[in-house]
Chains A and B, each alone.
Chain A
Amino acid sequence: MAKGRAAVTSRPFRLGREALLLVALIVLCTIFSLQSEFFLTERNFTTILRNSVDLAVICAAMTIIIILGGIDVSVGGVLAVSAVIIGRAYQMGMPDWVVVPMGLATGAVLGALNGVIIARTRVPPIVATLGTMYIYIAVLFLVIGGVWISGLPNTLSFLVLGEFAGLPAGIYVIGVTYLFSWLLLRRTPWGQRVVAIGCDELSARLVGIPVEKTKIQAYALIGLFAGVAAVLYVARLRNVEVNIGTNIALEAIAATILGGANIRGGVGSLIGALMGVLFIKMTQNGLVLIGVSSLWETVVIGALLIIVLVIDALGERRTR
């Protein structure tokens, strides 16, 4: 014990993951703005923000799931099914106040289904959500029938594209989502239960925490957030593509891990995850602006993830 403490105090100062990410974001911005005069403009930042909204919303819930010690690779599928149901509902001429709750409910139900499979049948989360991912994508194909749904109404577009009090609307959406998630995670008994299960599921069970129930609720929450992301997606693009949501699960996991979450559970940071999202989206945007093919963006994200994992691993070694 004393040895571990000595190792920690021997480090002169401890940079938090958030501070590290902030530095990385600033460095990234500097590089891009030196290469392209269009990068550091208000208009471009609004664009980056608009493109980040769906991923940011999903990442808030993904952080909670990873803290719980789980993972959800089916969020893309949930997003896709919610979006296609929203699209079909709009096509049938339903008004916003019917369509939006329908989309959210679809997401929450599909998420809860994941939760039930994981909690009740003890299928590991990665396998269970992999399986439901296939099923949800099948549902998408069956409903959409291989043709884009397009020309949807723009009544909700203000949620992403609009402006309130001089700031882009996306900021408020992200702000509300993250404030809600933070309060839930850090200021409620439910959030404490999530952390406890993520740290040590067996002990959590022994002290009487309803592990199954909490897990189902958490997966329902990420489903709900995927539903929110679907509403925002349709509001922003006013169409539903055939390959909607294919990469978003892996991007969300990457952003969450970049933000300091530990896949073994118990540890994670909402603000870090949000910065991870900004990092990914800024890279995608900046590479295009400086004339590098957008095909390189996955390489950059992958390389960055590897670097972060190596730094973490070396840090863990030193404190061990």
Chain B
Amino acid sequence: MKDPLTQRLWFLFGLLIAAGVAGTLLSEHFLKASTVGFLLQYVPVLGVLGLAQTLIMLSGGPGIDLSIGATMSLAGLAIAALFTAGVPLVLACVVGLAVGAALGAVNAVLICVLQVPSLMATLATFFAYSGLALALTGGSPIGGLPDWFAVLAQGRFLGIPVHMWVVFVPLAIVLHVMLAHTRVGSHIYAAGNDERAAFLAGVKVWRLRFGLYVLSGVIAGIAAIMTLSWFQAARPDAGDGMELLSVTIAVLGGTHIFGGIGRISGTVLAVLIVTTLQVAFQLANISQAWQLAAIGILLIGSVVADNAVGDRLRQRMARPRG
């Protein structure tokens, strides 16, 4: 309990409960079993993007991926276009992931090889990718996916959406284990905490970040597959606003924007908080404006809280041990 990061997780947990209570007070329909399934329906797509953003930020630099939503749109369009051209859907999905990886690799080359600041590089690719998504389709969605494909994002198993079971939860667990228990994970933290020290200790900082940007593209591809299954169509604007929302979730979850501090569990809680708020407001028929305002206030408030946590951490480190 004394550990500031654990305290932060409890704080987020409290926020989640508060959001749930707010939902119950706002709408009589909120406290029902069906709400859980309805709520979790929204979690995986935003959740995996938040996880990707968390990894990028953790590795420092400072790292950010503003093109993640646009990458998701383009990957989704690629899959749908290939499928309508006669490619088997599973193969098309694999190609979609490869498209995501390639788009992520463009970011990686700009940021890690050419040393362009990530904010500028991904802003530029955000323009290019989202523009391409609109221009190549003329703004209209590509539909006509088979019905069985809907099982992934519309099906339920034990009342919980299938994509929660097969995508979000496994990915979160894998990434958690990677960060907490593997060498790659400690390298990511090291690179984010002190790039130079990590480099001197033999961590290939920029190669590591290169990999993470590519991974971010692949995860955007996964998000695209889930959206495709959910809406049965690829929309050129599917990822609009996702870049900022995923940054919001990562930061709300306690990931430090300059890297080195953060946990997967925080990001998962943050996704649940944001989604609970969204669903509560939706059920209570409250204007979308309040939802935006709440996200904005949460975002700023959580960073202010974070700075306090960071200060305490630093004091703790400065204190001699034993």
Which residue numbers of A lie inside 8 Å of B, CB to CB? Answer: 71, 117, 121-124, 126-128, 130-135, 137-142, 250, 253-254, 257, 263-264, 293, 295-303, 305-306, 309-310, 312-314, 316-317
Contact = CB atoms under 8 A, between A and B. Distances in A.
A130 B250 CA distance: 13
Contact of B119 (A123, A141, A263, A301): A263
Contact of B117 (A117, A131, A138, A263): A263
26 contacts: A121-B307, A126-B64, A130-B296, A131-B295, A132-B296, A132-B300, A133-B244, A133-B296, A134-B292, A138-B290, A140-B289, A141-B288, A250-B123, A295-B134, A295-B135, A298-B127, A299-B127, A299-B128, A299-B135, A301-B131, A302-B130, A305-B124, A305-B127, A306-B110, A306-B121, A312-B116
Most buried by B among A122, A257, A296, A302: A302
B318 interface: no
A124 B296 contact: no
Interface residues of B, number: 44
> Could you tell me the dominant secondary structure of chain A's interface residues?
helix
Contacts of B295: 131, 134
Contacts of A303: 128
Given A250-B127, A254-B123, A299-B135, A134 B293 contact: yes
Q: Which secondary structure dominates chain B's binding surface? A: helix
B248 interface: yes
Contacts of A300: 131
Given A138-B292, A295-B135, A305 B123 contact: yes
Contacts of B293: 134-135, 138-139
A250 B240 CA distance: 14
Nearest to B67: A302
Given A132-B296, A142-B289, 9 more contacts: A123-B307, A128-B300, A131-B297, A134-B295, A138-B290, A254-B124, A263-B120, A298-B131, A313-B110
Nearest to A144: B289
A140 B293 CA distance: 11
B247 A130 contact: yes
B255 to A, nearest CB: 11
Contacts of A317: 114
From B121, B244, B289, residue with most partner A Cβ within 10 Å: B289
Contacts, number: 139
B251 interface: yes
B128 A127 contact: no
B170 interface: no
A102 B117 CA distance: 38
A114 to B, nearest CB: 10
B138 interface: yes
A139 to B, nearest CB: 8
Interface of B: 64, 110, 114-117, 119-121, 123-132, 134-135, 138-139, 244, 247-248, 251, 257-258, 287-293, 295-297, 299-300, 303-304, 307
B1 to A, nearest CB: 26
A124 B299 contact: no
Contact of B130 (A133, A298, A312): A298
Contact of B257 (A127, A138, A301): A127
B128 A302 contact: yes
Contacts of A302: 124-131
Task: Please name the 3 residue pairs, one residue from A and one from B, whose CB atoms are nearest each other, closest first.
Answer: A298-B131, A302-B128, A302-B127
Contacts of A313: 110, 114-116
Given A138-B289, A301-B127, A313-B114, A117 B300 contact: yes
